[in-house]
Amino acid sequence: MAGEEAVRLRPPRNAVDRRALGWWRARCLLSAAVPVAVLAVLGLLIEPARGWLLTAAAVLGATGLAATAFLPAWWYRVHRWEVTDEAVYVRTGALWQEWRIAPMSRIQTVDTVRGPLEQLFGLATVTVTTASSKGALRAEGLDHELAAELAERLTALTRATPGDAT
């Protein structure tokens, strides 16, 4: 169209904090350890099913260790975020990558979350809720101080942006 600039989608500029690797590894290990422990205990307690329960525990444990070794590094390469004066950009995913963009005029709320593991690693998640049926945008694995500054900046930007967030 005459007089309009072409918009080119580019990857968001900012990577998550490197400590997110440890946080993701801990989450993967815990996600695998709980069912492995349950299967192992049941295998020790239930004689007739001992063989298949312990085999299932071993297979699940090996799969969990492989996921812990592989997935966090992949997620670190893929997860990106950026905030400009016009929008919030988030790219996530491993096999199915998702790019989400929320214009400032569509933002309804900005939240920061720090679960127990995130606190242990000094991280936080910034959640940007919009009027989209797709749901909120989440920038995970951010330094907790950066996340607080980002929430303040987004609040100021959305307050200064005309629109009704619907």
Give me the residue spans of the domains in the chain: 19-76, 79-160
Residue 21 burial (10 A CB sphere; 0-12, 13-18, 19+): middle
For the domain spanning 79-160, the CATH number is 2.30.29.210
30-80 pLDDT tens trace: 999 999 999 999 999 999 999 999 999 999 999 999 999 999 999 999 999
pLDDT of 7 strictly over 60: no
The reported pLDDT for the residue numbered 164 is 63
pTM for this predicted structure: 0.84
Can you read off the two tokens belonging to residue 28?
A: 């993967």
- Do residues 53 and 37 lie in contact, with contact meaning Cβ atoms separated by under 8 Å? no
Cα-flanking dihedrals φ and ψ of residue 26, to 5°?
-60, -40
111-121 pLDDT tens trace: 999 999 999 99
Q: Round the average pLDDT of the chain to a whole number and report it.
A: 90
